[in-house]
Amino acid sequence: MSQSLREKTVRSLALVGGSQVISRIISFATTIIMARILSPNDYGAMAMATLVIGFIAFFNEIGISAAIVQREKITEEELSGCFFISTFFGLLCWVLSYFLGFAATDFFDVEILKDIMPVLGIGLITASLHAVSMGLMRKELRFKEISFLAIATVFIGSILTVILGVMGYGIWSLVIGNVISQTIKTACILYLGGWRPSVLGGIRAGMSIALYGLNITYTRVLWFIYSSADNAIVGKVVGQGALGHYSMAFTLASLPSSHITGLVVNVSSPVFAKLQTDREALKSNVLSFIRGVAYISFPALAGLAAVAEELVLVVIGDKWSETILPFQILCILGFWKSIDPILSQALISTGHASQVARYTTLCSVILPLAIYGGSLVSGIVGAALAWVTVYPLLNIFLFRLTKLSIDIGVMEVIAVLSKIFRNTALMYLAVLLCRLILIEMEVSQALILASSTLLGVIVYSLLIAFDNVALIDLKGFLGDLGVKKEKLDFWPLRKV
């Protein structure tokens, strides 16, 4: 990676990372507040609606934004064509959301779905309008503006959602907050992006980009099927309230992996695309990103699993007690979900979207079947166990594809993660022991949660500080991102 690209990557990570932290704190606080206001049934109905809307959303801009990032050169006529193609699909998807609202109502036997889905579908139109502008901003690494928009829209949407929730609007507080924040986001992107379609036309010119975008869309649709089929299955087999618990468990367990990995994928996508002709540099950077994500997400997931009971009961209340066990199980899944999106993005950004399509096709067939069986046998716990059992096995096929395409296989990944696994396991045992001792002392759950969390942070930090191999890994990760050596000259990094 060139020095200028390194520096841009560092700045991008800092900007997006800061905005992600702020946005996630706001979102998490909003989730906690709304979990105390709304019922599991409300969250279950919202999960059903967003399941269908989320599926439709993959077609509202047919992968045009990602295709623009991947394309090395692109003309103004092609961009204009992409804009009108995306807008057409956005309008078409809204119409689809209206009619599917009735189908969802019949399938799940939840009457309110036919009312809220057309409203949520408005976000499909607004998202299609900013697809080209967002693609250009990401391609140009304009993450300062993107970061500002992320914080602003999450803040406004969260404030409005809480106000409406307190006023007694129930599930509509989630719906209205979502739509308004999406509309504000689109308006800001169009204004700050500075791009406008030059001519009414260019559709033929934009078709080549749209066709590549369809490959990406196909991959994402299959990913959505296998990653979200569980909601449809749990909602149908186990029921609306059970889906509320399951959805909350997945939300909590996904906090470290989705947020941290999402940050890295967002920034690394254009970086991987620029390195697609330099195999060694690409391999080095992919492994570096994986290592960096693992240093943060692995201990966070292990810590959440250890204090899951106290976290749920203290933070969101006794009515969510059925969330605890699936939450702990899904934390294990988070280890895998921290890594595989980076590998998939590396394949997509280097023109191997068809390879990812093969992997997601396999997942979309096998995972729903496993989750259906698990749900029939053990409800939401069975669904969670199906994820943890089957998903790691499917990852073996992904590693085979990455080995063939970008020379990164399972052994290379294990090599960069082994020490992190060891330190995470030691931290987990320390937290678990602390928790058991405090339970025997009959102290409050809030004190158990606070003490165990603090101990986990201290133990993991010390393990890193006194492990030269871990320090070498961490220093190498920061160096790969372009951080200057003199800025790494502090204890304990100066030891290695």
Instruction: Give the pLDDT of residue 266.
Output: 66
For the stretch 414-455, pLDDT in tens is 888 888 998 999 999 999 999 999 999 989 999 999 999 999
CB-count exposure of residue 204 (10 Å: 0-12, 13-18, 19+): exposed
Q: Treating both helix axes as pointing N-terminal to C-terminal, what angle do 279-306 and 410-440 enclose, rounded to 10 degrees? A: 20
Q: Record the pTM.
A: 0.74
Residue among 201, 348, 200, 196 nearest 272 (CA): 348
Q: Under a CB-based contact definition with an 8 Å cutoff, are residues 169 and 40 in contact?
A: no
**Positions of the chain with pLDDT under 50:** 1, 481
> Where does 249-394 show beta strands of DSSP type E?
none
Cis amide linkage into residue 256, ω under 30° from 0: no
Q: Under a CB-based contact definition with an 8 Å cutoff, are residues 474 and 494 in contact?
A: no
272-275's contacts with Cβ under 8 Å and 24+ in sequence apart are 272/345, 272/346, 272/349, 272/350, 273/69, 273/70, 273/72, 273/349, 273/350, 274/5, 275/1, 275/350
Q: State the Cα–Cα distance between residues 339 and 388, nearest whole angstrom.
A: 15
Longest Cα pair distance anywhere in the chain, in angstroms? 73
Enter the tokens of residue 427.
Answer: 């931290």
Residue among 50, 24, 46, 19 nearest 35 (CA): 46
Q: State the Cα–Cα distance between residues 129 and 196, nearest whole angstrom.
A: 11
Torsion from C-alpha of 43, 41, 383, 226, nearest 10 degrees: -40
Q: Under a CB-based contact definition with an 8 Å cutoff, are residues 308 and 245 in contact?
A: no
**How many residues belong to the chain?**
496
Instruction: Give the pLDDT of residue 68.
Output: 76
3-state secondary structure of 490: coil
CA 89 and chain centroid, separation: 24
For the stretch 126-175, pLDDT in tens is 988 888 888 888 777 777 787 788 888 888 889 999 999 999 999 999 99
Q: How much is the CA Rg of the chain, to the nearest whole Å? A: 23
CB-count exposure of residue 27 (10 Å: 0-12, 13-18, 19+): middle
Enter the tokens of residue 167.
Answer: 């006023």
Say which residues have a Cβ less than 8 Å from residue 264's Cβ, sequence separation at least 6: 13, 289, 292, 293, 342
